[in-house]
Amino acid sequence: MHPYEVNSIVEKYTIYELTEKDTDSLVRVCPERGGIVIGCQLNGLELFYLDQETFENPTANIRGGNPILFPISGQLENRSYEWDGQTYEMANHGVARTSVWEVLGTGTDGEASITIGLRANEETKRSYPFNFELIFTYALKNGEFHIRQQYRNHSAEKAMPFYAGFHPYFRSESKKLSYEIDATRYLDYNDFVEKPFNGTIDLTGLVESVTLLDPKTSEVSFPVDGGARVRLSYDDVFKYVVVWSVEGKPFVCVEPWMAMNNELQRKDELVLVQPGDTLHANMTISCDR
């Protein structure tokens, strides 16, 4: 029996399931809803939280899974920014998570994978006037989930600024978790105070997120429900890790970002892809039980 499968299932939306039988692992992808991954079972344990009601409502922001953040991570002050003398409005986390992505291909040779893409269109250019193309490959192999990313600038003349990220919702009843990461400080957006990081963050009662400011290595691990420990490994272009939750909901978000809130206004740490170039990046989610 072949160890890898990719199947599509028509529910409210078309869902693609990547399966690795040898490790009892399963990833569920919905290209129509922002290219989101709504389920990530590794080594028999489902890691992601999903609010099914927000997922099924086409006008709601999905609470759960792993939303794609592009061209910004987080929010902009007054939901706007200026570029080349013109002001644009942009919703939190950008345009990719609310767009319909195209399925470019699937594969079962050595891994279970699906490749999806999103190109700039009239709607995205109202908020983000750049001729971008995103190509993401989701792959399941050896009980690990890989997200291989390409950020392409099809413009012949101008560089493309952005700071992408991910927003995975991990199942956790506890809001007080220990994080294995070599950061020493974090910014608490609840009071805008920088604080020392001692290995533990307690989100109990907090409304806004906190951002780990100075990790030297691109990796973080933490416990989740089911007695497991999740590890995120990612490329150096993801400089920050944001941690957030909602009181009364059984999840904690642990989010690698390329830059911090409001960067498209500050313009200090923007990622710039030159005309005709492509930025490649990777993130891997693994789980130890």
Question: What domains are there in the chain, each with its CATH number?
Answer: 4-288 (2.70.98.10)
Q: Which residues of the chain have pLDDT under 50?
A: none
* Whole-number pLDDT of residue 197: 98
Q: How far apart, in whole angstroms, are the C-alpha atoms of residue 271 and residue 13?
A: 33
* Whole-number pLDDT of residue 21: 96
Buried b (16+ CB within 10 A) or exposed e, 43-54: bebbbbbbbeee
The Cβ of residue 19 has, within 10 Å, a number of other Cβ atoms equal to 20
Q: Could you tell me how many helices (H) and strands (E) the chain has, helices first?
A: 3, 26
Q: How far apart, in whole angstroms, are the C-alpha atoms of residue 81 and residue 279?
A: 23
Helix (H) or strand (E) segment spanning residue 274: none
* Whole-number pLDDT of residue 11: 87
* Whole-number pLDDT of residue 154: 98
Helix (H) or strand (E) segment spanning residue 172: none
* Whole-number pLDDT of residue 289: 87
Q: What DSSP letter does each residue of 122-149 carry, written as one string?
A: HHHHHH--S-EEEEEEEEEETTEEEEEE
Nearest residue to 207 (alpha-carbon basis) of 188, 221, 222: 188
